[in-house]
Structure 1
Amino acid sequence: MKTGFCGLGNMGEAMAATLVAAGFDVTVWNRSPEPVQALAEKGATSADTVQQAAENADILIAMLPDDTVTRQVLVESGALDALPEGAVFINMATVSIAFSRELDEFLAGKGLHYLAAPVLGRPDVAAAGALNILAAGRQDALDTAMPVLEAMGSKVWHFGDEPQQANAVKLAVNAMIAGAIGMMGESVALAQGYGIDRGQFIELISTTLFASPVYQGYGRAIAEERYEPAGFKLSLGLKDVRLALEAGERVNVPQPISAILRDALIDALAHHQGDQDWASLARVATRRAGQE
């Protein structure tokens, strides 16, 4: 099965590497050449253009930052037109509901299949091939794509026949993660206000009532004030919360907590935290409390 992969950031490079290690015939492309060269050394085929990654591919996978970049790189460039009829395009990025619908209609008109398959997990999880993959699209397309998805993830969750359904789940989950980080920041500030060590407080919550990956992983970063290098940039977190709010408005779902989180993320951006890990959202609460 010939697979093209475009978008080799922190997540994409790790995901493509798992496919190469699993023995898939993978052609890779990226806007900057360094990750392409690194994967070529591991056995991938390098493409000079994104169209080359798409040509003759049974499956084309994209892991690009947002709607705008994905549209420019794949739609406006004509790269998706290079896919052979019947091929499956898998968009694994977090994109808007509107753009997911647009892609579905665009590809169907060309005799191509579309799967939305955003993921849960950070780069280290991707490198281990242990992502949770949130897939939605027609069953026949999912059946075709399942071998590559299973190589990248520990579980593939099928959420329906409409690709936008997977995007809705991903946006809802990311809003919840932002809420967890924001609440940890407020609670750390409260505890510190009474002289409690932040590390001790985080250890308490992450090993007892909130013993889960989100509180443990982001909690450690908050306890150690370790926000660089970013596993997931705060600016991208703001993008996802905005998309969640937009998705809610489409189906008349008020999200007042997410609106507060959006404003807190904007506050962080105004304080030059955009390139930090989004765990640094916790700094907003401690800064407002005069603890920085």
Structure 2
Amino acid sequence: MKIGFLGTGQMGTPMALRLLAAGHELRVWNRTEGRTEPLLREGAIAAGTPAEAELGADAVITMLFDDAAHEEVLFGPNGLMDALEPGALHIACSTITVALSERLIAEHLRRGIDFVAAPVFGRPNVAAEGRLWIVAAGTDSAIARARPVLEPMSRGISIIGPEPRQANAVKLGGNFLISTMIQSLSESFVFAESQSIAPAVFLEAVNSALFQSPFYAAYGNVMLHPPEQAGASISLGAKDTRMLREAAAARYTRLSLADNLAEIFEQAKQAGLANEDWAVGQYRIAQQRGILNP
């Protein structure tokens, strides 16, 4: 298939490489031009604008940072939306607000364009292995068209429902669970340290006894052995928590634990940890908050 791919950052690049490896033809674009170089070396074609990425494409994927990036890339000068013709397919893999997803549903419907929201779970190393888990939502026909594009990037796909906004809500809820898991693990480590127990020993014991979870093992390892490059940053965690709370408030729902997490992320940003790894930053704040004056 011919695929346009917009957004070749930490996540977008390995995802696009999986599509190239699967034999798809890619036309790629990124706001920072140099970011497309690894893909061009593998045979991708450079697009000068978001609109050019659509030329002759069977589907267009967006993997952009936030709502503001979508406003610029989709609706700005030489934006994607005006280039898409009736019958086109747009697959949005980004983590965005439910409110923006609702707007995109209306825009695509008005223009006669198939729209599938397909946000992904997994860090860049998981994307490089083609083992992302994708949560997708859209009409049955749109999902059927999107499957050949999504499958080379994933180890599994969960179909959430007919409304793309539902997939975006699941992604925010999933990231909320990750943040709460990291926070509880961080505070458990702080408790273990206060009892002269090595956090690694604590993790091995409770994960073996209670969870048998690769997520606890993986994030615990990140916290205790910080990577040179953040897989996901505190800024991303803060953004996703904000979007979750906004979506909940729009349906007259309050999540008290999410409110607490928002305070923790704000403290991390004030401590200069905005670009620190998500898990490492939460752990460091838990350590700071855990120290009491005798």
Q: Shorter-chain TM-score: what band?
A: over 0.9
In structure 2, the partner of 1:233 is 233
Q: Does 1:174 align with 2:175?
A: yes
Looking at structure 2, the residues matched to 178 and 227 of structure 1 have their Cα atoms a distance apart, in angstroms, of 18
- Tell me, yes or no, if the aligned pair for 1:6 and 1:30 is still in contact at 8 Å: yes
The answer to whether the aligner puts 1:116 opposite 2:117 as a matched pair is yes
Structure 2 Cα separation of the partners of residues 56 and 39 of structure 1: 19
Instruction: Report the alpha carbon displacement of residue 124 of structure 1 after superposing the two structures with TM.
Output: 1.1
Partner of 1:252: 252
User: TM-score, normalized by length of structure 2?
Assistant: 0.95
Contact 1:235 1:275 survives alignment (8 Å):
yes
Say whether 1:219 aligns with 2:220: yes
Shift of 1:286: 0.5
Contact 1:88/1:112 (CA < 8 Å) preserved in 2? yes
Paired position in structure 1 for 2:46:
46
Counterparts of 1:145-164 in structure 2, within 5 Å, are 145-164=146-165
Evaluate the alpha carbon distance shift between residue 152 and residue 265 of structure 1 in structure 2; reply closer, same or farther with a 3 A threshold: same
Task: Indicate the SS of the match to 1:231.
Answer: coil
Q: Distance in 2 between matches of 1:133 and 1:106?
A: 23
Structure 1 position 74, deviation (Å):
1.6
Q: Quick one: structure 1 residues 2 and 84, their matched pair in 2 at CA, closer, same or farther if it must change by over 3 Å?
A: farther
In structure 2, how many angstroms separate the alpha carbons of the residues matched to 1:229 and 1:290? 28
For the residues of structure 1 that align with 2:29 and 2:214, how far apart are their CA atoms? 32
Structure 2 Cα separation of the partners of residues 2 and 10 of structure 1:
22
Identity %: 39
Shift of 1:64: 0.5
Q: CA deviation at 1:80?
A: 1.7
Q: Which amino acid letter does the alignment assign opposite residue 90 of structure 1?
A: I
Cα distance in 2 for residues equivalent to 1:99 and 1:221: 32
Q: Please give the per-residue CA displacement for 1:217-267, whole angstroms capped at 9, x wherever unaligned.
A: 11101122x054111111011110111111112223321111111111111
CA separation in 2, counterparts of 1:160 and 1:202?
36
SS at match of 2:161: coil
Cα distance in 1 for residues equivalent to 2:270 and 2:114 = 41
Deviates more, 1:45-54 or 1:174-183: 45-54
SS in 2 for 1:43: coil
Normalized against structure 1, the TM-score is what? 0.96
Q: Which runs of 5+ in 2 are unaligned?
A: none
**Counterpart position of 2:189:** 188
- CA deviation after TM superposition for structure 1 residue 200, in Å: 1.7
The one-letter code of the counterpart of 1:246 is: E
Q: Which letter maps to 2:267? A: D
Partners of 2:234 and 2:206 in 1: CA distance: 23
SS in 1 for 2:291: coil
Superposition map of 1:196-215 within 5 A: 196-215=197-216
**In the alignment, which residue of structure 2 is the partner of 1:125?**
126
1:33 Cα deviation (Å)? 2.3
- Residue 66 of structure 2: aligned partner: 66
Amino acid at match of 1:56: G
The Cα shift of 1:70 comes to 1.1
How far does residue 150 in structure 1 lie from its aligned partner after superposition? 0.7
Alpha-carbon RMSD: 1.4
